[in-house]
Amino acid sequence: MKRKKAAAGGEDIGRETRLELYRLQLELRYCEKRAYDLFLQNLVKGTSHLSLGQEAIAAAFGVAMRSDDWTFCTYRGHAHTLARGASMAGVLGELMGRQCGLLGGKGGSMHLTDVSKGAMGSYAIIGAHLPVAAGAAWSAQYRGTEQVAVCFFGDGTTNIGAFHEALNFAAVWKLPVVYVCENNLYMEYTAIHTVTAVDHPAADRAAAYGLESVIVDGNDADEVYRAAVQYMDRARKGGGPALIEAKTYRHSGHSRADPAKYRPEGELEKWLEHDPIKLYRERLAKLGVAEATLKDIETDAMRKVDEATAAAKASPVPALDGIERNVWADGGAAWRN
């Protein structure tokens, strides 16, 4: 089994990339916290699945991906969509059901998509997007574009059929797709180890599809970034798919409705000590990044979130003619002549 150790020095990752990784993680964190605040103000409706604590994975891939690569993610997809450069006002607007939303208010929190940025959708049925990502990878392979599809999912997904169908399919066809399991230890409300036959829900299954077992610290952006670069590069060059298990932890419950009372005492506190943003800030400081530089990044990130919030709040609610639009390619919804 291949386990990567976080490099303390990290000379292999340049300063600009590092600052970008910090900036992006912060933006994802602040925006997700804002989404929660907007819930409490009853401005965000429906459900929502926050990825507080898991930002390093989305940020590292977001920075490592080529602009024409594709992201496929789950209903816990705010961060992954933002990490590709989707408009923050568009994300918050969609959560708030506003016209400026990425989907014009027709998808909501669980379906964030921005095709112009390569964010090819957030899929709300567990496992569904793994075969879809394989299909996109097939298209890249067929057309010889050297694009890579990256597909993020949770530990719970490893127990559904589509996971196994997609992994086998991608391996047999040697498709340029990188599957990333964000193992946050819980499938919804249930501890993953109580419902899974192996210790590492993704990595221990890799061998079944002829893939190497890869486990990374999903709270260490550098470690995730290195794995992202390595396996996307291999896929791009025709080396086939990869399955990466990134160990992480979500700070909040599964969804808005979940207070996460099933966690053993002290577990959250332990993981907060290993918070990706805390860890990264300490590393940057140790590497000699000035406190003022870090402060500036933090101020800018908060300003961006504030501006996006204001823009989303100012946006009107969607026009009603949207209800019967865009079922079909002609823009309409007609099923008869």
Partner 1 sequence: MAELTYRDAVAAGIAQEMARDERVVFLGEDVASAGGVFKATVGLLEKFGPKRVRDCPISEQAIIGAAMGAAMTGLRPIAEIMFSDFLAVCWDMVANEIAKTRYMTNGQIALPLVIRTANGAGSRFGAQHSQAVENWAMAVPGLKVVAPATPADVKGLIAAAVRDPDPVIVFEQKSLYSTKGEVPDGEHVDQLGKAKVLRSGKDCTVVALALMVHRALEAAEILEKEHGIACTVVDLRSLVPLDTQTLLAETAKTGRLVTIEENPRLCGWGAEIASIVADECFWDLDGPVVRITTPHVPLPSADQLEDNTLPSVARIVREIREKID
Q: Which of 39, 47, 85, 168 contacts partner 1 by CB under 8 A?
A: 168
Return the residue of 40, 67, 161, 194 that touches partner 1, per CB under 8 A.
161
Q: Measured between alpha carbons, how far is 168 from 334 in angstroms, rounded to an integer?
A: 39
User: For partner 1, which residue of 208, 237, 306, 328 counts as binding (CB under 8 A)?
Assistant: 328
Q: Is there binding between residue 172 and partner 1 (CB under 8 A)?
A: yes
Closest CA relative to residue 56, chosen from 216, 175, 243: 216
82 scored as a contact of partner 1 (CB under 8 A): no
List 64, 96, 137, 277, residue binding partner 1 (CB under 8 A): 137
Residue of 6, 138, 209, 287 interacting with partner 1 (CB under 8 A): 138
Identify the residue among 136, 215, 246, 284 touching partner 1 (CB under 8 A).
Answer: 136
Residues 6+ apart with CB under 8 A from 193: 185, 199
Instruction: Please state the φ and ψ torsions of residue 247, each to the nearest 5 degrees.
Output: -80, 125
CA distances from 58 to 70, 89, 163, 322 (A): 13, 18, 20, 31
The answer to the question of residue 111 lying near partner 1 (CB under 8 A) is: yes
Question: Cα–Cα distance between 52 and 321 in angstroms, integer?
Answer: 35
List the one residue from 123, 152, 249, 271 that touches partner 1 (CB under 8 A): 123
**Segment holding 93, helix H or strand E:** helix 88-95
Q: How far is the CB of 106 from partner 1 (least distance, A)?
A: 5
Closest distance to partner 1 from the beta carbon of 285 (Å):
41
**Sole binder of partner 1 in the list 25, 74, 81, 113 (CB under 8 A):** 113
- Separation of alpha carbons 145 and 194, rounded Å: 42
Residue holding tokens 């506003």?
98
Q: Is 43 a binder of partner 1 (CB under 8 A)?
A: no
Q: Which of 143, 261, 269, 288 binds partner 1 (CB under 8 A)?
A: 143
- Nearest one of 201, 214, 134, 122 to 166, comparing CA atoms: 134
Q: Output the CA–CA distances (angstroms, integers) from residue 266 to 76, 220, 256, 262, in the order listed.
A: 24, 21, 22, 12
Beta-carbon contacts of 155 under 8 Å, excluding residues fewer than 6 positions away, are: 181, 182, 183, 184, 185, 186, 187, 192, 196, 201, 202
Q: Nearest approach, Cβ of 164 to partner 1 (angstroms)?
A: 8
Window of 34-42, 202-210, 252-260, 321-329 that interacts with partner 1 by CB under 8 A? 321-329
Span near partner 1 by CB under 8 A; candidates 77-85, 208-216, 273-281, 324-332 = 324-332
39 or 209: CB nearest partner 1: 209
Q: Which is nearer to partner 1, 72 or 271 (CB)?
A: 72
HSE on the CB side for 61, CA within 13 Å?
34
Q: What residue ranges bind partner 1 (CB under 8 A)?
A: 70, 72, 102-104, 106-107, 111, 113-116, 120-121, 123, 125, 127-140, 142-143, 149, 161-162, 165-166, 168-169, 172-173, 322, 325-331, 333-337
